[in-house]
Chains A and B, each alone.
Chain A
Amino acid sequence: MTPLELLEAWSGVLIVLIGLFAIWYFALRRFQVRKASKRLSLTAFLAFGFLYLPIIVVAIFSFNNSRFRLDWVGFTWKWYAKIFGDESVEGGLEGAQLLLATQNTLVLAVISTIIATLLGALLGYGLHRYRFPGSKLTAWLMYIPVVTPDIVMAISLLLLYQVLRVVSPIFEPGLPAMVIAHVTFQIAFVAIVVRSRLATLDPALEEAARDLYAGPLDTMRFVVLPLMLPGVMAGALLAFTLSIDDFVISFFTSGPTSQTLPILIYASVKRGITPDINALSTIIVAITIIGVFISQILQRNQKA
């Protein structure tokens, strides 16, 4: 490739780059005014628009009256009807498949979140409280799932399962193996959240409890536990969403009957997008957003 061709090939990227930098620079020059300037607001508005673009597009196309095409044909509700069991609609996924995938996703998320929250909260508490051989190393290791690319974790677990399969059938590809994989990354997130919550607590509270003759169990039950509970809940919520959202790790550890929704969606996208996937995705997104708002409202009430 000659330099000129190279420049031509990259000109689009270059123009966008220069344009974005210009917007960025002019938007930020007004930083002195702590109140958001107009330019800053415009940039932020565009950024939010970009973040929400895929979600909006999927929602719009879930009403598209076309079986195969990616362009707009006309309005219809039929994909939603199909998802909720209308067998007369042609095209798209099988209802039974969809039901199974939904069930798998929820079972996986609930079981793994319960295990991870329990073990993760205890781990966070133990690491906060006691210095023991390996405690520093463990605290460091917990950041590995936060940073490591999913695929590397998925592959290393897949290989572990290959070795352990000799010992027990739960390491065959399938739901139990997926639960173990999910707990592995969830546990780290829960422990980190719980530990940072505990770090903000005043140790004097516990000492006060002891001075008032509370035994270790009572101190735990009436002082420490209520104080660390918000951290535990936040960790559990995070773990749950991480599990629901996970595609890569599930993909490499799942068996033929343990497909989750993300795997099902990926498989049908590879075969060619079908509009009922849009409808399904829109429902998932709607549930996610409603869930977020409910947790927001709950938090606000807690503060008040």
Chain B
Amino acid sequence: MSAPVRKVADKQKVEAVGGEVLTVPQLLSRAASTAGPGVLWIFLFLVLPMMILLVYSFLTRDELGNASLPLTFDNYVRFAGWDVLGYDAAYLVIVGRTIIVSLVTTFFCVLIAYPLAFFIAGHEPRTRDRLMVFVIVPSWVNLVIRTYAFMIVFNPSSPVTQLAAALGFVKPGDGLYPSDFAVYVGMVNIFLPFIVLPLYSAVERIDWSLLEAAQDLYATKTQAFFQVLIPQTLPGLVAGIILTAIPALGMFVVPDLLGGAKTSLIGNAIAQQFGQSRDYPFGAAISFLVMGLTLLVLYLYSRRVGEQGMRDLL
């Protein structure tokens, strides 16, 4: 709640934001007639599906490929590596790879986003708005389109690939894709705007007089940068990292198009269970693990920054 609800002298009544004094039933009926349908929608199509996901993850796949009883932990056990054929940590390897890809992507996004945010914040307000639009526009171009553009950029005959071949990074005649490198480039390209947005609004709020104070106290440039400026951008940085690292965990289009068979990530594993493999319970188990991680991060974040701070996410 953005503004506190004041207690009114009459104990039976409460004051809503905006100064209206209402009885409790009145308040409830007003709330139900405004927020009601939205709350209902969110519980029906957001919360209920998450619960169904959990239930599905304990079901068993029958001979016809349908989800059925009995309830078991088998899907999670299989995910951890114990299958009928013996121990195989294939899915744990995918998890590890996904986490690495997500972290590396986030790292590069932060690296590129910082100078960009400082650059934009260094302009006068009107230019700033325009530059921010420039940052956002690519994120409105479809993900699939932007991803396959890199298939063109990295195909064997492109200038980029030939330059890489001349420098010895790839064999002449080979493409730069499919490869881990192509996946990283694609991922960074797609997630960069998401991290620039919150970071920029943090940089814009920087109190530059603190920098002068630091310099008066003989801080070196590096000291001042890391101890005065960077800490002030932390809220934006954390929001940006959440907005990149978590969605990156479930990304499946980029590795699907730009990665080879070896670059399968959790997202691809989930998609496979709901596509070719038709093993919904197992797919639900993997999805639920990602969902659980997301909820955990979101919960810890909201505990830390409070409700006002969560606005940094959007």
Contacts and interface: CB of A to CB of B under 8 A. Distances in A.
B69 interface: no
Contact of B149 (A17, A57, A262): A57
Contacts of B224: 32
Interface string B36-63: 1111011001111110110010000000
B166 interface: no
A181 B271 CA distance: 17
A143 B30 CA distance: 24
Contacts of A44: 115-116, 119-120
B294 A152 contact: yes
A241 B133 CA distance: 14
Interface in A43-79: 43-44, 47-48, 50-55, 57-58, 61, 69-71
Interface in B1-41: 1-3, 5, 14, 16-20, 27-28, 30-32, 34-39, 41
A147 B146 CA distance: 21
B93 interface: no
Contacts of A142: 42
B250 A150 contact: yes
Nearest to B57: A159
B94 interface: no
Contact of A28 (B17, B114, B211, B274): B114
B193 interface: yes
A180 interface: yes
A195 interface: yes
A178 to B, nearest CB: 12
B157 A29 contact: no
B133 A292 contact: yes
Contacts of B19: 203, 206-207, 210
A180 B144 contact: no
B52 A51 contact: no
Chain B interface, DSSP helix/strand/loop, else mixed: helix
Contacts of A107: none
B274 A155 contact: yes
B72 to A, nearest CB: 17
B46 A145 contact: yes
Interface string A247-282: 110001000000001100110010001000100010
B115 A55 contact: no
Interface in A1-30: 12-13, 17, 20-21, 23-24, 27-29
Interface residues of B, number: 114
Contacts of B119: 36, 40-41, 43-44
A183 B41 contact: yes
B31 A132 contact: yes
A192 interface: yes
Contact of B294 (A125, A126, A144): A144
Interface residues of A, number: 112
Given A132-B28, A144-B294, A151 B270 contact: yes
Contacts of B112: 20, 24, 43, 47, 50
Nearest to A206: B18
B250 A130 contact: no
Nearest to B155: A70
Nearest to A192: B314
Contact of B1 (A70, A136, A156, A191): A136
Given A58-B149, A138-B42, A148-B291, A31 B229 contact: yes
9 residue pairs, one from A and one from B, having the closest CB atoms: A149-B250, A126-B35, A123-B38, A54-B149, A126-B34, A156-B49, A44-B119, A71-B157, A132-B31
Given A146-B314, A195-B2, 10 more contacts: A52-B138, A58-B149, A119-B37, A132-B28, A143-B314, A151-B267, A183-B45, A198-B2, A245-B143, A273-B148
Interface of B: 1-3, 5, 14, 16-20, 27-28, 30-32, 34-39, 41-42, 45-50, 52-53, 56, 104, 108, 111-112, 114-116, 118-120, 122-123, 130, 133-135, 137-153, 155, 157-158, 169, 181, 184, 188-189, 192-193, 208, 211, 215, 221-222, 224-225, 229, 242-243, 246-253, 257, 267, 270-271, 274, 280, 283-284, 287, 290-291, 294-295, 297-298, 302, 307, 310-311, 313-314
15 contacts: A43-B116, A53-B153, A58-B149, A71-B155, A120-B38, A122-B37, A125-B34, A126-B35, A130-B31, A130-B34, A135-B35, A149-B247, A159-B49, A160-B52, A187-B42
Interface of A: 12-13, 17, 20-21, 23-24, 27-29, 31-32, 34-36, 40-41, 43-44, 47-48, 50-55, 57-58, 61, 69-71, 119-120, 122-123, 125-132, 134-136, 138-153, 155-160, 162-163, 180-181, 183-184, 187-189, 191-193, 195-196, 198-199, 203, 206-207, 210, 216, 224, 241, 244-245, 247-248, 252, 261-262, 265-266, 269, 273, 277, 281, 284-285, 288-289, 292, 296
